[in-house]
Amino acid sequence: MTTTEIAPSLHPAGPLTEAREKMGRRFAYGFLILSIVPILIGYAWLIIATLSIRTEGLLPRNAEGGIGGFTLRNWDFITDSAIWNAMLNSLLIAVAMVIGVGVASTAGGYALSRMKFAGRKGFLSMTLVLHAFKAEMLLIAIFFVLRWLGDIPLIGDYIGFNSVGGVALVMIALELPLGIWLMKGFFDNLPWDMERAALIDGASRFRVWWQIMLPQVRPGLAALSLFTFIAGWNAYLVPFTFTVGTKVANMPVFLSQLISDTAPTNWNQVAAVGLFQMVPLIIFFIFTQELLLNIYAGGSKGT
Amino acid sequence: MTQPSEKEALARAAVGAPGPQRRTLGRRVRSTVSAYGFLGPAMALVFVFFIAPGILLLILSFTDLSSANFNDPWNIIGFANFERLFTDPFFPKILRNTVFYVFTTLILFNLGLALVLALVTTSIPRRTGFFFRLVWLLPRLTPSVVYILMWRRIGQADPYGIYNQLFPEVLGASGGNLFLGGSPWTFVILTNGFIGASFGMIIFTSALESIPKDLLTAAKVDGASMWRIIRDIKLPLIKWPLLFIATYQTLSLLTSFEYILLLTDGGPGLFTTEVWALTAYKRAFASYAGNSQWAFGATWAIVLVTVALLLAAVYVKLFKFNELIEEPRIENL
């Protein structure tokens, strides 16, 4: 009884405010639902289109023009070796990125966080500037770098222009400023005691890094790995610019090759390939929601 | 006479060479050597794919390299490319496009909508707010080619387009292609804005959630309206994140062109939606009739790189300076 008597006094305007709050909440939901409509429509079309002969707007149409026309034929590409080749290339790029960015960033981030050396400040500010700077503008010059790398005897064919390795190297480098900065942030947050004890006992820096520090930044490394995997899996601009033809194409480039300007495009098959390409992303989206929201903010915060 | 090697310096330090000064020097050398060991892979990659291309781009902009003389030695032609750039008949249009695109997207989506989304999703129950933010993350997670494919289907001409089917009357009765016809800019800004808004949204959300609850409760008890709470309490407290997103996203929008390339490729017609970064890319890689003008493309790029570097330097000065100068403590055992 007492609570009901006190409650109104917390709301100076009484029931009026409550009504207004209710309206405000209704307005909030209305706005949010409206805002995600374009996103949901896009996905709805993708799913409907993959399962039908053709679509008009969001409606699946059958041969006579009525509603219907359910088919699984759009998924015939599954038996095509070209798509598995593209998938393998995508996977290679993504995995190479996870490993390359992971190793270079944990090592570099550790040095920048924990060691005092000549040039530290310079390298730190350079990392930060490069992190803010977008590297797309350098692609023109990277084209020539890759051509020269391709002229190196023995390994040139694997890391030069028009090779999966070359694309992976460029992608690793472009993600590095973010990776180093993130990992430095994770190392910064670790306590000093264990590391100091190990150093006093005569352990080498490498051993300290490998045996004591790395296990402690595992969550950070996992977040960075997820981020770089997605970046590698979705990579379009770099592979599109530095590869020619179908052999070295990754999934996004393969998909864009299906969309032709000269021949009629089978949009429903394109939709199916697009959805197929999103399978790992959908899995991440379902199982690592909290982590995803955090890592996409991580670029700025370092933790 | 050989120079004392690093090994010797290390050895001297290891046995505890006489005098404190000597020991510190040895330790500093050892520390620097091993630090560069750790930084080696990162430094090599940064040099090969950032520093060297940056220098190369500058050199290229003073040559006349195109597919016509690709195999010849590079020919330095001075500032001719820059003259050509600033007298290009489409230069004013491209500049206007770039400014319009960057600031409209920034204000409407990357800042505006991001802020509204953060404010609204933090004022409803936690789980629901989280759900909506998660859906907003989807565009960023979707491969660019698939994402643009969806938008192309939304804006497609009758009878395939989704917008034309849902609202047959609204945008004129033509029912034509929207992104390559009636309203290309609307589509360019929407596609980029739906990606851009989520970054600000996440940053603002965490800033808003860290505002002490009693501050807001006190204001409410005093009878402050929602608008007053937002204007006088929330906005001043997230001033820094707002400034951070503004500078960071300006830079992002200025230099990225992937979604425009996929959606309109600068069209319809001549340079309708072509921005500076896309021009640079297309001059170098996708010029008509297979004539790639690398040097001219590099000229467009180097101007943008200069602007981007200046902005990045300002941004670093603004936001990370304190973290930057903090020295690691472990060396002072």
User: What is the rounded average pLDDT for all residues in chain B?
Assistant: 82
Question: At residue B63, what are phi and psi to the nearest 5 degrees?
Answer: -110, 180
Q: Are A273 and A87 in contact (CB under 8 A)?
A: no
CATH number of the CATH domain containing B113:
1.10.3720.10
Indicate whether B19 pLDDT > 80. Answer: no
Instruction: Please tell me the total count of domains within chain B.
Output: 2
Indicate whether B331 pLDDT > 60. Answer: no
Indicate whether A3 pLDDT > 50. Answer: no
Is residue B159 in a domain?
A: yes
Same domain, B51 and B200: no
Which value does ipTM take for this structure? Answer: 0.87
CA A210, CA A222: separation in Å to the nearest integer?
16
More confident call, A266 vs A34: A34
Same domain, B118 and B263: yes
Query: Would you call B289 an interface residue with chain A, using a CB distance cutoff of 8 Å?
Result: no
CA B50, CA A173: separation in Å to the nearest integer?
8
Please enumerate in sequence order all residues whose Cβ is within 8 A of that of A272, keeping only pairs 6 or more positions apart, or say none. Answer: A49, A50, A74, A75, A77
Query: What residue of A is the nearest CA neighbor of B36?
Result: A111
Predicted local distance difference test score (pLDDT) of residue B110:
94
Q: What is the mean pLDDT of residues B58-63?
A: 91
Scanning B99-128 for CB atoms below 8 A from A yields 113, 116-117, 120-121, 123-124
Question: A-chain residues within 8 Å CB-CB of B298?
Answer: 140-141
User: pLDDT tens digits, residue range A23-64?
Assistant: 888 888 999 999 999 999 999 999 998 988 888 878 888 777
Q: Are B278 and B193 in contact (CB under 8 A)?
A: no
User: What is the rounded average pLDDT for all residues in chain A?
Assistant: 84
Same domain, B263 and B150: yes
More confident call, A148 vs A262: A148
Is residue B308 in a domain?
A: no
Binned at pLDDT 50, 70 and 90, residue B23 comes out as low
Indicate whether A12 pLDDT > 70. Answer: no
Indicate whether A159 pLDDT > 60. Answer: yes
Q: Among A41, A118, A199, whose Cβ lies nearest the Cβ of B162?
A: A41
Predicted local distance difference test score (pLDDT) of residue B288:
54
- Range of lowest pLDDT (A238-252, B68-82, B112-126): B68-82
Going along chain A from its start, the domains and CATH numbers come out as 2-71 (no CATH), 79-301 (1.10.3720.10)
CA distance A75 to chain B (A): 16
- On whether the pTM is more than 0.90, the answer is no
> How distant is the alpha carbon of residue A191 from its chain centre?
30
Is B284–A209 a contact, with Cβ atoms under 8 angstroms apart? no
**Does an H or E element contain A172, and which?**
helix A164-188
Is residue B67 in a domain?
A: no
Same domain, B188 and B251: yes
More confident call, B210 vs A90: A90
Q: How many other CB atoms are found less than 10 A from the CB of residue B136?
A: 24
Same domain, B129 and B185: yes
Is A138–B301 a contact, with Cβ atoms under 8 angstroms apart? yes
Predicted local distance difference test score (pLDDT) of residue B16:
45
Query: What residue of B is the nearest CA neighbor of A27?
Result: B120
What residues form DSSP beta bridges with A60? A55
Predicted local distance difference test score (pLDDT) of residue A252:
92
Binned at pLDDT 50, 70 and 90, residue A6 comes out as very low
Q: What is the mean pLDDT of residues A260-288?
A: 85
What number of C-beta contacts closer than 8 Å exist between A and B?
Answer: 311
More confident call, B182 vs B301: B301
Indicate whether B179 pLDDT > 80. Answer: no
Predicted local distance difference test score (pLDDT) of residue B64:
85
Question: A-chain residues within 8 Å CB-CB of B226?
Answer: 24
DSSP letter for A56, please.
Answer: E
The last residue of one of the domains, among B273, B302, B318, is B273
Is residue B113 in a domain?
A: yes
Percentage of chain A beyond pLDDT 90 is 33
Predicted local distance difference test score (pLDDT) of residue B332:
41
Predicted local distance difference test score (pLDDT) of residue A299:
47
CA B202, CA A201: separation in Å to the nearest integer?
44
Predicted local distance difference test score (pLDDT) of residue B18:
45
Tokens of A48: 């409907």
Indicate whether A179 pLDDT > 80. Answer: yes
Predicted local distance difference test score (pLDDT) of residue A296:
76
Same domain, B105 and B238: yes
Is residue B289 in a domain?
A: no
Same domain, B269 and B140: yes
Predicted local distance difference test score (pLDDT) of residue A302:
34
Is residue B194 in a domain?
A: yes
More confident call, B31 vs A113: A113
Predicted local distance difference test score (pLDDT) of residue A2:
40
Predicted local distance difference test score (pLDDT) of residue B320:
61
CA distance A42 to chain B (A): 5
The last residue of one of the domains, among B273, B295, B326, is B273
User: pLDDT tens digits, residue range A123-138?
Assistant: 888 888 888 887 888 9
CA distance A34 to chain B (A): 11
Predicted local distance difference test score (pLDDT) of residue B165:
78
Same domain, B195 and B265: yes
Same domain, B41 and B147: no
Question: B-chain residues within 8 Å CB-CB of A259?
Answer: 149
More confident call, B241 vs A89: A89
Predicted local distance difference test score (pLDDT) of residue A14:
55
Is residue B13 in a domain?
A: yes
Please enumerate in sequence order all residues whose Cβ is within 8 A of that of B245, keeping only pairs 6 or more positions apart, or say none. Answer: B110, B111, B114, B199, B200, B203, B204
Percentage of chain A beyond pLDDT 70 is 91
The domain containing residue B24 runs over which residues? 6-60
Same domain, B16 and B151: no
Is residue B331 in a domain?
A: no
Same domain, B104 and B197: yes
Q: What is the mean pLDDT of residues A179-202?
A: 88
More confident call, B100 vs A79: B100
The last residue of one of the domains, among B273, B308, B324, is B273
∠ CA(A32), CA(A231), CA(A172), 5° rounding? 150
Same domain, B17 and B104: no
Q: Among B159, B203, B262, whose Cβ lies nearest the Cβ of A300?
A: B203
Q: What is the mean pLDDT of residues A144-162?
A: 86
